[in-house]
Amino acid sequence: MTTTTATVHRDRAARGPVTIRRPKPGSVTRPRKNLTLTVLTGVVLLYSLVPLVWLLINATKTQADLFGSFGLWFGDEFALWNNVVATLTYGDGVFLRWFGNTLLYVVLGAGGATLLALLGGYGLAKFRFPGKRAVFAIVIGAVAVPGTALAVPTFLMFSQMGLTNTPWSVIIPSLISPFGLYLMWTFAAEAIPDELMEAARIDGAGELRTFWQVCLPLLAPGLVTVLLFTVVATWNNYFLPLIMLRDPDWYPLTLGLNAWNSQAATAGGEAIFHLVITGSLLTILPLVAGFLLLQRYWQSGLSAGSVKG
């Protein structure tokens, strides 16, 4: 910020004596609403929302209407309900099976990742222990390693351990979120005063109790934020299950939808594009709803994280 002050001072010198003015309406600190800017930003808004609207509208169409009617308006027949039923019952209800798998991976994978990041971040922020610097260096280095470099060897390793084509092959790699650890670490470092922990210890609380009863409540906003982002990462995971899973019974939604989509291209495969579209809608609904409903929590976690980090 030194730069800013320096420039400002130079400007001031150039303009001679300074007159202190009150900010006028429409200035930086007292902004006035601006229609042009709203419209311009509205273009990006449209860009973001039109595909989602497209998805919503086209989930109401029969397969014939899908190809025969204008993309951003409804078709001749309003088939949303039929499509939803067809999506849920197609192939003996395999969509529900995929939905359940996704939930399993999210609960165990994202839940576990958040828990490990919580404990690890707290430990790194609030304790001195031998090897701490090494832990720091290794984890920071690992953040830069692209997932690609890991996927194939992880697969080969897991196949030797007999883990491939089981849920574990998807859940175990999801358990590590270096970014989650980093976030919890910075968050814990600032959110928990050392004095508070000292006071708890003087009162005779053990480490576990100090963590659980004194520190955990303070970590809640950071925890919600990490959880939300690990949930998105696990819910949207495609590459990992694609490599690990062969049996469609263990597919998550992302893999299942892609299988449905490519079905039309296979010999004798039935084209079910309306189910792909309705299935896509059903796949994103829980996350969109989660983000909207939990808006207050994760946005406060975000800003709290940045204020304190």
Partner 1 sequence: MTAVTAAKAPPGMPAGAPARGPRARWAGWAFVGPFMAVFALVFLAPIAYSLYLSLFRTQLVGGTQFVGLDNYARAMSDPLFWQGFTRVLLFLLVQVPIMLGIALLVALAIDSGRLYGRDFFRISIFMPYAVPGVVAALMWGFMYGTRFGLWGNLETALGVDLPDPLASSWILAAIGNIVTWEFVGYNMLIFYSALRVVPTSLYEAAEIDGAGQWRVISAIKIPAIRGALVIATIFSIIGSFQLFNEPSILQSLAPNYISTSFTPNLYAYSLSFSGQQHNYSATVAIIMGLLTMLVAYVVQLRGMRKEDGR
The answer for residues whose C-beta is within 8 angstroms of residue 174's C-beta and 6 or more apart is 105, 109, 110, 112, 113, 230, 233, 234, 237, 240
Q: Which span sits near partner 1 by CB under 8 A: 75-83, 91-99, 103-111, 113-121?
A: 113-121
Position 8 contacts partner 1 (CB under 8 A): yes
Query: Minimum CB separation from partner 1 for residue 273, in Å?
Result: 7
Q: Half-sphere exposure of 251 toward its Cβ, with a 13 Å CA cutoff? A: 18
Position 126 contacts partner 1 (CB under 8 A): yes
Position 172 contacts partner 1 (CB under 8 A): yes
Single-letter residue type at 200: A
Distance from C-alpha of 12 to C-alpha of 191, rounded to nearest angstrom: 40
DSSP string for residues in 71-91 = TTS--SS--HHHHHHHHHHHH
Q: Which of 120, 170, 250, 278 binds partner 1 (CB under 8 A)?
A: 120
Task: Give the pair of three-digit tokens for residue 182.
Answer: 């980093």
Distance from C-alpha of 90 to C-alpha of 85, rounded to nearest angstrom: 8
* CA 235 vs CA 57, 79, 202, 248, 309: distances in Å: 24, 27, 43, 17, 27
Position 292 contacts partner 1 (CB under 8 A): yes
Distance from C-alpha of 145 to C-alpha of 196, rounded to nearest angstrom: 37
Position 164 contacts partner 1 (CB under 8 A): no
**According to CB under 8 A, which residues from 91 to 110 bind partner 1?**
none
Position 259 contacts partner 1 (CB under 8 A): no
Position 307 contacts partner 1 (CB under 8 A): yes
Position 267 contacts partner 1 (CB under 8 A): no
Residues 215-254 as x/- pattern, contact with partner 1 by CB under 8 A: ----------x---x--x--xx-xx--xx---------xx
**According to CB under 8 A, which residues from 52 to 91 bind partner 1?**
52, 54-55, 58, 66-68, 70-72
**According to CB under 8 A, which residues from 142 to 161 bind partner 1?**
142, 144-157
